[in-house]
Amino acid sequence: MSARRQLSFDDLGTPLVEATLVVVDLETTGTDPTADAITEIGAVKIRGGEVIGEFRTFVDPERPIPAYIASLTGITDATVAGAPSAATVLAMFLDFVGGAALVAHNARFDISFLRAQAARCEIGWPNPQVLDTLALARTVFRRDEVRDHKLSTLAAHVGASVAPDHRALSDARATVDVLHTIIERLGPRGAATLEDLSSAHRRATPVQLRKKHLAESVPSVPGVYRFLDAHEQVLYVGTSRNLRNRVRTYFTAAETRRKVLDMLPRAESIRVIECATPTEAAVRELRIIAAEKPPANRHGLTPQKALWLRLGSGTEGLRAARIARAEDDGSAQIGPLASRHDVEALRGLLTDAVLGRGASFERGTARTLPGGSHRDRIRRAMLTDPREVLDHVATRMRAHTAAGRYEDAENLRRLTGTFLDAARRAARLRAISAVPLLVAARPSTEAVIGGRGWELLAVRHGRFAGTALVPARADPLAVARSLAVTGTGEAELAAPMCQGHHQETEILLTWLDSDGMRTVLVEGEWSQPARARFDLAHLAERFALTSPGPGA
């Protein structure tokens, strides 16, 4: 038996000397992230022990600051008057963070507020890696050395250059000094990577230590990995830009997911599929999960089971549907929806907007109203122009806010967001599913021979047909023509609205939305539907045109 190679720390993850970290601290109006708001954000960006940037701003909490909070922090209503909104600040902060890991003292508090604020502002949370200096400090500084692990105590103990004073930037700067001392102490214990540091306060399980040899032969390339049992049945499937780095984390204390820890005792081998690009890897992962149904994968097991809201043809009304169908008979559908509970709420929203509050779709089937029959108007709102629905919602929201029923207004806004999202997703799926072939190119984010180059993607009826990396000096058109003759079998799987593979299609649509994307070859016609029609910004515009009126 050949000796197993001892992997270096570089094999295990991102070396700490190369890792970019953003140490963040927040001041808030209280302790409940669902009910309270952020008043100040302070952050320090560091790399290799050096400060490379700082971020600080007040935030308009859009509510009064309690007196005891103002006394503690010195931040009053007057302090935040004229400060930028949370949505503006959060977008700026995430741009400052970029791809860095986040660090905070008692990170659960700060990160929960940031995540909750992102959700309220409908800003996607990037799920960065998070380090908690409180948890790490409890491992490094024993109680016989410090009386407690408060930031003020630790900062004084390590001789921090800035004393924390319940102001965001000062506390972040103090946390930086505490973090550097923690890293210095953990270094001799083998904490040389970001992944080591994130799990330094935990220990790998005996099973993880016993099974870690399974990852030894995994290459450092983009692709898909599969954990197999003794009978070569697939237990779990995943994907990564760097298979070696990702797979190794399953055998460290950083891995705490119960489904993974329960799977590892049965794992006997790991098989990988090397892919040209992460996009190919993501598609292959979905297809394997759908075919093999690994027990440890909970998402994507049955992509063919979608949920749509369908306006039927003839006398059929609005109802839930599991299978998307062609719409050339006058029917229409939007989705996929996240929950069956959305169906009745959306039925009510559309019928109220067209027929009036409390009207029944069935009672109004024969009615013809200004602008066409109610069916034509609902179909138009679902497929091309939601203004009638948005005007109805804007008027009701104005009435709710005028009466002080802010929760009712917010619930209505969220329901409208569900409608707009479903209509927007359907419009994009509808457009790409009708295209027999699309070959597009974008600047490559992966290493290409000779330096930077192009990443090409071929799509047939919304399904992945092939991909390739092309050096900058090569002719991408020649490669595009080669891709045009691959994946021809995908055309046989064409379905309305990409039924049965919409998750795969949405991965490809995200790729097609990326900066620098260019269409190289296309059969048929393809154009991205106008997003502005199905966007909450459109609702905000309609709301601005309304005036306060009687209660809804």
- 269: domain CATH number is 3.40.1440.10
Give the H or E element holding residue 10.
Answer: helix 9-12
Candidates 525, 523, 463; CA nearest to 493 is 463
45/3 Cα distance (integer angstroms): 42
DSSP codes, 482-493: HHHTS-GGGGGG
On the 0-12 / 13-18 / 19+ scale of CB atoms within 10 A, 109 is middle
CA distance 207 to 188: 25
pLDDT for 287 equals: 92
Q: Does position 549 have pLDDT exceeding 70, yes or no?
A: no
| Pairwise CA distance, residues 109 & 120, whole Å | 17
Q: Which of 137-151, 154-168, 363-377, 501-515 bottoms out in mean pLDDT, i.e. has the lowest?
A: 363-377
Q: Which residues constitute the domain of residue 214?
A: 206-292
**Which amino acid is it at 393?**
V
Confidence of residue 254 (pLDDT cuts 50, 70, 90): confident
Tell me the CA distances in angstroms from 378 to 307, 317, 322, 334, 355, one per residue in order.
Answer: 19, 10, 20, 12, 10
The fraction of the chain above a pLDDT of 90, given in percent, is 58
70 in Cβ contact with 89 (< 8 Å): no
Position 2 pLDDT exceeds 50: no
Work out whether strand 223-228 and strand 518-523 pair parallel, antiparallel, or are unpaired.
Answer: unpaired
Q: Are residues 424 and 456 in the same domain?
A: no
Same domain as 439, residue 409: no
Minimum mean pLDDT range among 38-47, 135-144, 261-270, 543-552? 543-552
**253 and 384, same structural domain?**
no
Do 47 and 131 lie in one domain? The reply is yes
Instruction: Give percent above pLDDT 70 in the chain.
Output: 89
Quote the CA–CA distance of 194 and 340 in Å, as a whole number.
41
Same domain? 148 vs 261: no
Question: How many H-runs (helices) and E-runs (strands) does the chain carry?
Answer: 20, 17
299 within some domain: no
Tell me which DSSP letter residue 305 carries.
-
Does the residue 298 lie in any domain?
no
Q: Are the C-beta atoms of 185 and 197 separated by less than 8 Å?
A: no
Among 198, 215, 233, the domain-final residue is: 198
Is 447 found in the same domain as 520? yes
Q: Report the distance separating Cα 200 and Cα 19, nearest Å.
A: 16
176-209 residue pLDDT tens: 999 999 999 887 776 777 877 877 767 778 899 8
| Least confident piece of the model among 73-77, 217-221, 528-532 | 528-532
- Residue 4 pLDDT exceeds 50: no
What local confidence, expressed as pLDDT, does residue 11 receive?
39
Give the CA dihedral 342, 346, 348, 349, nearest 10 degrees: 140
Are 148 and 29 members of one domain? yes
Averaged confidence pLDDT in the chain = 87
Q: Is residue 267 in a domain?
A: yes
Whether 25 contacts 171, CB under 8 Å: yes
* Domain co-membership, 254 together with 332: no
Question: Would you state the pLDDT for residue 320?
Answer: 93
pLDDT at 241: 85
Chain centroid to Cα 405, Å, comes to: 31
Q: Looking at the structure, tell me whether residues 315 and 406 fall in a common domain.
A: yes
541 three-class SS? helix
- State whether 73 and 155 are in the same domain: yes
One-letter amino acid for residue 54 of the chain: E
Q: How far is CA 429 from the centre of its chain?
A: 19
The residue among 239, 260, 292 that closes a domain is 292
Written as one letter, the residue type at 7 is L
Same domain for 271 and 407, yes or no, is: no
Supply the residues annotated as catalytic. 166
CB-based contact 139:201 (threshold 8 Å): yes
* Cβ atoms 311, 331 nearer than 8 A: yes
Q: What is the pLDDT of residue 205?
A: 85
Same-domain status, 264 and 408: no
pLDDT tens per residue across span 351-406: 999 988 766 655 444 444 445 688 899 999 999 999 999 999 999 999 998 888 88
* pLDDT tens for each residue of 440-478: 999 886 666 556 788 999 999 999 999 999 887 778 888
Residue 302 lies in a domain: no
Residue closest to 458 by CA, chosen among 433, 479, 481, 483:
483
Does residue 1 belong to any structural domain of this protein? no
Please report whether residue 125 resides in a domain.
yes
Query: Which whole-number Å values give the CA distances from 207 to 247, 251, 263, in the listed order?
Result: 15, 8, 10
Mean pLDDT over residues 339-344, rounded? 91
* Lowest mean pLDDT segment, chosen from 92-101, 219-228, 359-368, 425-434: 359-368
Q: What is the pLDDT of residues 462-518, one digit of tens each?
A: 999 999 998 877 788 888 888 888 766 666 777 899 998 999 999 999 999 988 899
pLDDT over 90 at 10, yes or no: no
Query: Distance between CA atoms of 97 and 115, rounded to whole angstroms?
Result: 14
Which 3 state secondary structure label does DSSP give 528? coil
- Cβ atoms 266, 212 nearer than 8 A: no
Q: How buried is 412 (Cβ within 10 angstroms: 0-12 exposed, 13-18 middle, 19+ buried)?
A: buried
Flag whether pLDDT at 50 surpasses 60: yes
303 part of a folded domain: no
400 within a domain of the structure (yes/no): yes
Tens of pLDDT, residue by residue over 284-302, are 999 999 889 999 887 656 6
* Tally of domains in the chain: 4
Find, among 97, 107, 90, the residue nearest to 21 by Cα: 97
> CATH number, domain at 70?
3.30.420.10
The answer to whether residue 40 scores a pLDDT higher than 70 is yes
Residue 139 CB coordination number (10 Å): 14
Cα 387 from Cα 392, distance rounded (Å): 8
Q: Where are any strands of DSSP class E within 114-264?
A: 130-132, 223-228, 234-240
Cα distance between residue 306 and residue 324, in whole Å: 8
Give, to the nearest 10 degrees, the angle between helix 374-383 and helix 387-402: 90
101 vs 194: CA distance, rounded Å = 9
Residue 77, pLDDT score: 94
Whole-number pLDDT of residue 74: 92
481: helix, strand or coil: helix
